[in-house]
Structure 1
Amino acid sequence: MVSGLAAALAEASSPLWSRRARAGRDLASFADDPDVAEVLAGLLLDVEDTAVTRQTAEALTRVGTTGAMRLVARAVAEADDNQADWIQTGVRDAFAGTGGGPDVAAVCGQLARDPEAAVRRGAAEMSGWADDTGR
């Protein structure tokens, strides 16, 4: 599995958007690892292709851990309007899949008390998204 993780980390810096998007999906379950979290944060705010942003946000939302959603919340706070729209689309895509997504509202409630102001701002915005989808 370590070789799979190493390969995904390498793909995160690929010039091909499809490989970066795959890296976001493959790395999402490792969001609690600080080194991986840094890479995922970059993929969420990918400046070259919004598909990377969308697919990484969807994968992290499907994972649904506090660490994964903390990354999404911080990205929402730091994103420009276009990136934020695609992050929101990725979060909503996670709900549309089989079985739906995790209880984002509950995780956002936890993140509302995060020590980092950007995370609290992003969580507040994401709470509205969760309300819109009934989650």
Structure 2
Amino acid sequence: MDIVKFLTAVEALCAGEFPEAGHRTVELATSHGTRADDAQIRERTAADFHAYREALAQRLHDRWGRQHPWGQQTVRLRVARGEEIPEPWATLSLLTDELDVWEPPGTGRWIALGVADRDDTDEIRLLATVTVTPPP
């Protein structure tokens, strides 16, 4: 995995235009063939993707300041209770257990970085999201 490539993608998200929905999520990396077939391979792959997220997050901490990761369990509980959680945060809470989130100075945008590995029947994905909607 190429951290420089990931940084370039995040920078493009910060500078790009928004779709009508007011947010955009991109897959920075996707596993291939690590669905529920082999639990050990899936576990190692998930660990690798979390390490990539941490390495990228460190670079973004250096740029925008250190932030504590946002656990998603509370947001999932709020969704389950019927509370209206704005997108993309509601969907991200269902895909990820934890997000790194920044508000880059002067952009009016929020950047979130997480690993979508909650669904054993789906590929593991390193996700980056940009939105104008603050986290709930």
Same fold (TM over 0.5): no
- TM-score normalised according to structure 2 size: 0.32
Q: Which structure features the higher share of strand residues?
A: 2
- The structure showing larger relative contact order (alpha-carbon pairs under 8 Å, at least 6 residues apart) is 2
Which protein is bigger by CA-based radius of gyration?
2
Q: Which structure features the higher share of helix residues?
A: 1
